[in-house]
Amino acid sequence: MTTNVARHPWPAAAPLRGSWRFGEAWPSARDGHTALRWVLRRNCSLTPRQVFGAYLLLCLVSLLIAGGFSWWGATPVLAFAGVELLLAGAALLVYARHATDRETILLDGPALRVEHHCGRQVQAAEFRSAWVRVEPRHGEGSLVELTGEGQQARVGRYLRPELRSLLAQELRRALRGPQAANDLPCGPQAANDLNTN
């Protein structure tokens, strides 16, 4: 008789030290204790304000060059510059709209709140932390799926696939001992202390 043992969908990651890699201590809205918060953001090099400034600079330079050609009699250049700036503006608008996309996970005592901000849309789910399961969606490197009481939320979109198992491990550890989150120090210095790995 032979026995086959199925491998766990995510390999066991190295144990985390006493700090949180992705999470931070956060002042709670209830009872003055400390909650845990994870904010996973899209990796964008420019903020929407910087995109707007770069677009204005592009418009200025392009219109100056097109105006110069138009002054010398090549008037179609101005029309092509206008079309180019409209298309570039539309592309930069789409970029700027999603530059602040993020996922926020807040473990505050017995409640776990997950929010996914995509453009102007916000999807939120609330769970009782004692009933939440943290599992991979399909296997190694897939999104982290939080399920409980008939609800589900997927997180980790803005993390590299190899870091999602660490996020899942950290969430499991925080959910196992939510009272440990109440004993954490709070404030900006505490968040810096907790995130040093």
Same domain, 36 and 70: no
Instruction: Report if residue 140 sits inside a domain.
Output: yes
- 38 with 62, same domain: the answer is no
Q: Is residue 16 a part of any domain in this protein?
A: no
Of 79, 98, 117, which one is at a domain's C-terminal end?
98
Per-residue pLDDT at 66: 94
> What is d(CA 114, CA 127) in angstroms, rounded to the nearest whole number?
8
Contact criterion met (CB below 8 Å) for 136 and 142: yes
Residues 6+ apart with CB under 8 A from 192: none
Total domains, the chain: 2
Statement to judge: residues 132 and 190 lie in one domain:
yes
**Statement to judge: residues 76 and 93 lie in one domain:** yes
Residue 137 falls within a domain, yes or no? yes
- Going through the chain in order, the beta strands assigned E by DSSP cover 23-27, 34-41, 102-108, 111-118, 121-128, 133-136, 144-148, 151-155
Predicted local distance difference test score (pLDDT) of residue 8: 54
CA–CA distances in Å: residue 130 to residues 30, 40, 95 = 18, 23, 38
3-state helix, strand, coil in the chain (%, to 5): 40, 25, 35
d(CA 111, CA 126): 7
Sequence-distant (6+) residues with CB within 8 A of 90 are: none
- Tens of pLDDT, residue by residue over 169-191, are 889 888 887 444 444 444 444 44
- Considering the domain architecture, whether residues 128 and 170 belong to the same structural domain is answered as yes
Q: CATH number of the domain that 145 lies in?
A: 2.30.29
What single letter denotes the amino acid at residue 187?
A: G
Whole domain around residue 86: which residue ranges? 48-98
| 48-71 vs 76-98: helix crossing angle, rounded to 10 | 180
Residues 32 and 122 in one domain: yes
CB 194 within 8 A of CB 24: yes
Which residues share a beta bridge with 111? 108, 128
pLDDT above 50: residue 39:
yes
What is the model's pLDDT at position 11? 53
Q: Domain boundary residue among 65, 98, 131?
A: 98
- Per-residue pLDDT tens digits for 98-118: 888 899 999 888 888 999 998
Residue 113 · residue 105 · CB < 8 Å:
yes
pLDDT digit string, tens, across residues 58-109? 999 999 999 999 999 998 999 999 999 999 999 998 888 888 889 999 988 8
